[in-house]
Structure formats: structure tokens, C-alpha cells
Amino acid sequence: MQGTAGWRTKSGAAPSHRARIRVFFGIVFGVADPLIGKKVDNGEYIITERIGSGGMGSVYKAEQPSMNRLVAIKVLHSRFATRDDLVARFRREARAMSQLAHPNTARVYKYGELDDGAVYFVMDYLEGRNLAHEVRENGPMEPQRALNVMVQVCGALEEAHRAGIVHRDLKPENVFLTNQGGTTDFPKVLDFGLAKMSEKQMGRGSMMFTQQGMVFGTPEFMSPEQAQGETIDRRSDIYSLALILYELLTGKLPFDAKSPIDIMKAHVKDKPIPLSERVPGKTFAPELDATIARALAKKPDDRYDTAVDFAEALKGCSPEGLLSTAARRAVPASQPAPSSKPAGASHQPAGGSSVVQNESDPPTVPTSRTPTLLLGLAIGVGVAVVGYFALTLLSR
């Protein structure tokens, strides 16, 4: 066929099958992403590549010529611009992170809106890998290394808690290992999109839209009270921190449950498998075993009251002088503990999740963090085949 309706090369010839495949996969996998090369905020930032994506948005690497540095820009898809709940959640993440200055928290510099209505925020560009990738690639950490990392994470969470912010979705994927100032294993806490904030922190006109009894979160790292949809406070984060440390040390979680439902039930009812009994032939210092066991107590009142308390207990599990300088500096001096009553508890009970896509949907049980690789592969192959034949027909 002649004419302009079909897909043709510059010479006018129909493209080869290989060319069709390259173009199709370029479209599917974002090579032709319209944001690549886009100037943001009147040219203050220039997007250079996409470095991550999900169901609700994407993260891009960008240059900031005026400051001669690289930044990351997180963008909520424009199709969600009319979803007030999702935009509010996105704004909440930016607002929470912008108010935190601890060196172990990723910083946010700006919040704005693109021409197509998509909202975005600009944050630190980090090079490295998250804790989940680290353990998956290299296996469990040696105790001293894990303690160095987690004491620093405690420092970041302590600042957030004192500001009236509870993270609510702490997991290895949300702790990023990077190098900073010559210091290796320098963790950065990410993803405050589910953060529970006091009304003061939220700001006038912000939405507080979760409801009592709604269960959101990542099942493997939920506290018992979060798994039951109850009101939570900073001690829920401490439970999650203990689960992260447990996995760093063993490569496993303290329960043998498999499905999301069974995992949530285990958090509520089952006794955690002691650290030294989790991996045959591998034992840990009794002090470390006891510290993690206390942080994993079912009742919040039986756990460490603050992240500082937990960090100090972890320091006591480390041989004197072996903690890194960064870890020793990460946690602020002890202060009178803030009230255990959650900030804004009368308005903002537990809720929110990175696993559930739409917080306005009816209460649901979130899926496991483990990706359904085979299903995704099958769907991808099916889409590729259909797309290839569609392009073939268009070229005739």
C-alpha cells in the first residue's frame, strides 16, 4: 500500500520486523518518554532519564545547572491529577520530607506542577542500592555492619517522630544505602508518602482521609496494631525497624507465614522466632537477641518508647569502639519522650500504603511485597505479541 497511513522509513520503504520490534518496545518501556529532555521550573531542572516507575508515578534523574548538581524528580502520573486523595498523599510525602533535615533522611527541595497537570517534587539524587537489594545480592549482613546501618536509621526516625511524623511504611526497600562524605553504608530513609502527620504538620487545608479500621501497608513489616487497623504511633515504626534488622541479619522474617493474610495474623498472634534460632548453625549475641525481641513485643507499651532508646540498646550490642563515626553521630541526645498519644489521633488513625494503589478504595488486604514475576512476564509477552502484530498491520 502507498500513502501516509502506514508506518514507513525515511526512504519510503516498509520497516523490517526488527525495526518494528525496536520501536514497539521503545514505546512500551519508556524510551520515548515525553518527559526526557523536558525543562522543569522555567529551566531550573532538566530531566535526563527515567530511573524508576510504578503504577502511580515515575522517578527521573535531572540536572540542576544553576547548582551544578544532579537531583531526582518524582512525578505523579498526570492521569491522577484529578484524584484529590492521591494528590494529597503525594503532597504529604513532599511536605513531610521537606520538614526533615537529618542527614539520614532524603531531602526534598521543591514541590510543583507540570504543564499537563502532573505534580512533582525534587529531591536528593542517590546512587547505591536499597537494603532489600543488598541482602538479595550479597546475603545477610554481618552484625556489626547491620548495627551501623540501623543506628543511623534510628536517628532519622527520631527526628521525624519528634516532629510529629510517623513513617508507617518502613521496609528494606525504603532504606537506601549510599556513600556520603567518604562514609560507606550511609543510609537514607525514603518514601514518606504514607507518613502520619499531626494537623500542625499537615498544614491548613490538607486532607486527612484515612478511616479507622482500614488496613494498609506492607504485610511483612506491619506492626500488630497496624495489621488490625488500629491507631498507631512512633512505636509502630520501632517494630518495623526491628523487623528490618532481623531480615538484615538472617535474610528471613521472624515468622514462617507465607500469604499476606497469614503474615498479618502472625504479627498479631504468633510469637516471633528468636533471632538465634532462625538460621541453623548461626547464633548472635544474647544482648542482640533480647534487644530485637523487646522491639518486636506485641504491645506497644512493651517496646522501646523512642527510636533513641532503641538505638542506645543497639549500641550496647556492639563491641566498644566498633560503631562507625556516622552511627555515633546519627542519634540525638536523649530528651523527655514525646507523648505516646499519636499526633492528631482523633482525626488520623492508622492507614495508607504503598502497596494499595488507591486509598479511597474500600478496605482491602494489601498484596505481599514479593513480585509476581511469572505473571508479569506472561502479561508482558502477551502485550508484546499483540503490539507487534498491530504495528505490522499498520505498516501495510
Do 190 and 226 share a domain, yes or no? Answer: yes
What is the C-alpha to C-alpha distance for residues 1 and 167, in angstroms, rounded to an integer? 59
Question: Is residue 185 in a domain?
Answer: yes
Question: Is residue 149 in a domain?
Answer: yes
**Is position 289 annotated as part of the catalytic site?**
no
Question: Is residue 142 in a domain?
Answer: yes
Do 184 and 266 share a domain, yes or no? Answer: yes
Do 52 and 117 share a domain, yes or no? Answer: yes
Which residue among 124, 154, 183 closes a domain? 124
**Number of domains making up the chain:** 2
Which residue among 330, 349, 365 closes a domain? 330
349-360 confidence digits (pLDDT tens): 333 333 333 333
Which residue among 80, 103, 124 closes a domain? 124
Question: Is residue 341 in a domain?
Answer: no
Determine the pLDDT at residue 365.
37
Q: Which of 124, 169, 233, 309 is catalytic?
A: 169
Question: Which range of residues forms the domain containing residue 120?
Answer: 39-124
Do 112 and 134 share a domain, yes or no? Answer: no
Do 90 and 149 share a domain, yes or no? Answer: no
Determine the pLDDT at residue 156.
94
Determine the pLDDT at residue 206.
34
Do 170 and 68 share a domain, yes or no? Answer: no
Q: Which residues of the chain have pLDDT under 70?
A: 1-31, 193-217, 320-321, 332-396
Determine the pLDDT at residue 158.
96
CATH at residue 100: 3.30.200.20
Do 172 and 116 share a domain, yes or no? Answer: no
pTM for this entry: 0.72
Do 208 and 113 share a domain, yes or no? Answer: no
